[in-house]
Structure 1
Amino acid sequence: ILTLASLPLKSDCRILTFIFVFSATSQIIGPSHLVVALLGADVVLPCHLEPADDLTSKSLEWGRLDLEPRFVHVRHSGQDLQNQNLGFKGRTSLSTEKLKRGDLSLTLSDVKLSDNGTYRCYMVSEDMESNVQLLVGAASSPFITGIDRSGGSVVLECTSSGWYPEPEVSWMDSEGHLVSAGPPETVRGPDDLYTVSSRVTVDKRHGSTVTCRVHQDRTNQTRLTQIRVSGRNHNRTEQTWGSFLVTLTEL
């Protein structure tokens, strides 16, 4: 970029000042935020060259430095190579059309909990890199059961299995206010998924409604189940999930 500035002198002569500004060199750009994917889904790990250029013939490498071998996906002189970590075999791909536009984003299919980690997007010949942090999460719907009843109250238990990372569980009344409950119990299974449960005591008033909420903040996953404790005959409760109404018998 060339700009001119003229400085007046006492005579008719003027001094021309030339200012040269050169564009910044190319760089690899990754996401500024954590990338989250649910267990079993596909995810795109963003990475692109700026300014854009055709990368189809370049040598590129996606890797995780905590693995041995570290290679997640390798491309050399326009060809995808097979020397990748066996845990990623058949699950990674780069788009040729995107590479033409300077987009090195990696598609990772059928994500597993072992895919959690920091990935390096690396242009070998230019020695440029960017990091992408992936968090794989899992979530499932909670289920409420009545486990005890005495007098005018009932003890309800909310259980939800198959979570990652560990979630929080809470109870709310019909107005959305938190209901005091006992300390939750958490169990981590051999598959590394968490099961959480919590108990609360509520009055068996007609139309009394409580909601169990299970939430994981880092993955922004929330699951809700609502139950209505009825004062009708046969001591029946109604459990609502989505648009469905399921009638249960209190224990």
Structure 2
Amino acid sequence: MFLKVNMCLTPFTVTGPDYPVTAIVGEDIVLPCHLSPRMSAKNMEVRWFQSEFSSFVHLYQHGKDQYEQQMPEYHGRTELLQAGITDGNVALRIANIRPSDEGQYHCLVQDGVFYEEAVLELKVAGKPRSVRDECTRLSLGIGVGCMYLTSMFLPARVHMLTLMSRAIWPSGQSL
């Protein structure tokens, strides 16, 4: 008796953006990743990790998210977006972005013995704040001065300006 088994693994590619994804500290971000051609990833393994395969940011396996061995710094902050998983969308949401989240992320999708991955870059910026001038009485004996920010993101560089329109830079040098 001869038994013929057809194992048909459909090859796919895993695609992410070819540009850095930018996130703001404290906000949520979605790291895009999808299969091409479009196919369901519901029964596949999806592993998001940074530098080490075994230390994962998020793991989707056996049709559900696996949090037991997740990296502690991501515990309670990640989810694989389920809305498009049947169309090959395996995007990851990271909540409450931290500066330490910045870096490379690997989106690896495995179906049986076949796997592919995409690598993307996450850049983290500080919280935006409004640019405002604050005038205050300086206790250094030089009179009233104004302080202004030169950046929309924290940490901002602060400069002092006296009423005589003479800038005093942080290094102590005058303009």
SS of the residue aligned with 1:100? helix
Deviations 1:46-84 (CA, angstroms, capped at 9, x unpaired) = 000011001101011001116x96201111121211221
Q: Is residue 16–residue 33 contact of structure 2 (8 Å, CA) maintained in 1?
A: yes
Distance in 2 between the 1:160 and 1:140 partners?
11
Deviations 1:22-59 (CA, angstroms, capped at 9, x unpaired) = xxx52111012111111111110000001100110101
| Aligned amino acid, residue 197 of structure 1 | V
Distance in 2 between the 1:147 and 1:91 partners?
41
Q: Is residue 69–residue 84 contact of structure 1 (8 Å, CA) maintained in 2?
A: no
Q: Is residue 141–residue 160 contact of structure 1 (8 Å, CA) maintained in 2?
A: no
Q: CA deviation at 1:201?
A: 5.2
Distance in 2 between the 1:156 and 1:101 partners?
56
Map 1:163-174 to 2 at 5 A. Answer: 163-164=153-154
Match of 2:28 in 1: 42
Answer 1 or 2: which has greater strand percent: 1
Please tell me the root mean square deviation across aligned C-alpha atoms, in Å: 2.9
Distance in 2 between the 1:99 and 1:145 partners?
50
Match of 2:89 in 1: 103
Normalising by the residue count of structure 1, what TM-score does the alignment of the two structures yield? Answer: 0.52
Q: CA deviation at 1:162?
A: 9.1
Distance in 2 between the 1:103 and 1:200 partners?
52
Distance in 1 between the 2:27 and 2:54 partners?
24
Q: CA deviation at 1:143?
A: 3.5
Query: Tell me, which stretches of 5 or more residues in structure 2 are unaligned?
Result: 1-10, 139-143, 166-175
Match of 1:133 in 2: 121
| Aligned amino acid, residue 71 of structure 1 | F
Larger radius of gyration: 1
SS of the residue aligned with 2:83? helix
Check if 1:145 corresponds to 2:134.
yes
Match of 2:62 in 1: 77
SS of the residue aligned with 1:127? strand
Detail structure 1 runs of 4+ shifted over 6 Å in the superposition.
none
Q: Is residue 159–residue 195 contact of structure 1 (8 Å, CA) maintained in 2?
A: yes
SS of the residue aligned with 1:87? helix
Aligned residues: 147
Map 1:53-72 to 2 at 5 A. Answer: 53-65=39-51, 70-72=55-57
Map 1:105-120 to 2 at 5 A. Answer: 105-120=91-106
